[in-house]
């Protein structure tokens, strides 16, 4: 039996207009569904050559970060996109998921404060996004 997809975590069609942004928003909603905090999407396409968007989120502990990573992986696989690389799954302070156009950074609070991704990429516009609808 297929796993039921929660509202807001539906796949992004391959022919969707601005698919990279849709995928970034999907990653943000996946982090939100697993109780991620301070979730931001940064549009970096004009500032770097290797990605269009960064998704940055905070989890309280290693277990939550892994759950956020797994939910993101599931959502992206439903959109027919597999990660190109992953770092930090064993460490638990910072998990990086590379999907090409979208790179997801999942931090514990101390690692996020230390690495200051938003400060480094301060010239990147922040993308407005909405959490998935509740109740489902």
The tokens for 113 are 């404060």
Q: Is 57 a residue whose pLDDT tops 90?
A: yes
Give the bridge partners for 103, in sequence order: 54, 98
3-class secondary structure, 105:
strand
**CA–CA gap between residue 58 and residue 40 (Å, rounded):** 10
| Domain presence at residue 44 | yes
Please report where in the chains the tokens 């939550």 appear, as a residue: 64
| Domain presence at residue 6 | no
pLDDT at 1: 47
| Domain presence at residue 37 | yes
When pLDDT is cut at 50, 70 and 90, the band that residue 80 belongs to is very high
Residue-range definition of the domain harbouring residue 47: 19-120
HEC-encoded secondary structure of 30-97: HHHHCCCEEEEEEECCCCCCCCCEEEEEECCCHHHHHHHHHHHHHHHHHCCCCCCEEECCCCCCEEEE
Report the CATH number at residue 27.
3.30.460.10
| Domain presence at residue 33 | yes
pLDDT at 92: 75
Give CA angle at 23 (109, 51), nearest 5°. Answer: 75
When pLDDT is cut at 50, 70 and 90, the band that residue 7 belongs to is confident
Question: Judging by beta carbons within 10 Å of its beta carbon (0-12, 13-18, 19+), is residue 45 exposed, middle or buried?
Answer: middle
| Domain presence at residue 106 | yes
**CA–CA gap between residue 118 and residue 116 (Å, rounded):** 5
| Domain presence at residue 133 | no
Mean pLDDT of 55-66: 96
- Please count the structural domains in the chain: 1
| Domain presence at residue 125 | no
| Domain presence at residue 135 | no
CB 126 within 8 A of CB 42: yes
Give the bridge partners for 104, in sequence order: 55, 97
pLDDT at 6: 75
Q: What is the mean pLDDT of the chain?
A: 91
pTM, full prediction: 0.91
């Amino acid at each position: 039996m297929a796993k039921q997809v929660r509202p807001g975590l539906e796949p992004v069609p391959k022919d969707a207009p601005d698919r990279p942004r849709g995928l970034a928003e999907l990653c943000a909603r996946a982090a939100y569904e697993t109780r991620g905090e301070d979730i931001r999407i940064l549009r970096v396409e004009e500032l770097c050559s290797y990605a269009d968007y960064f998704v940055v989120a905070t989890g309280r502990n290693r277990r939550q970060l892994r759950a956020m990573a797994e939910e993101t992986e599931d959502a992206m696989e439903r959109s027919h996109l597999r990660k190109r690389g992953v770092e930090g799954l064993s460490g638990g302070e910072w998990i990086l998921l590379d999907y090409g156009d979208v790179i997801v950074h999942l931090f514990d609070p101390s690692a996020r404060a230390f690495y200051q991704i938003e400060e480094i990429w301060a010239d990147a516009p922040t993308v407005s996004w909405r959490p998935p609808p509740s109740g489902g």
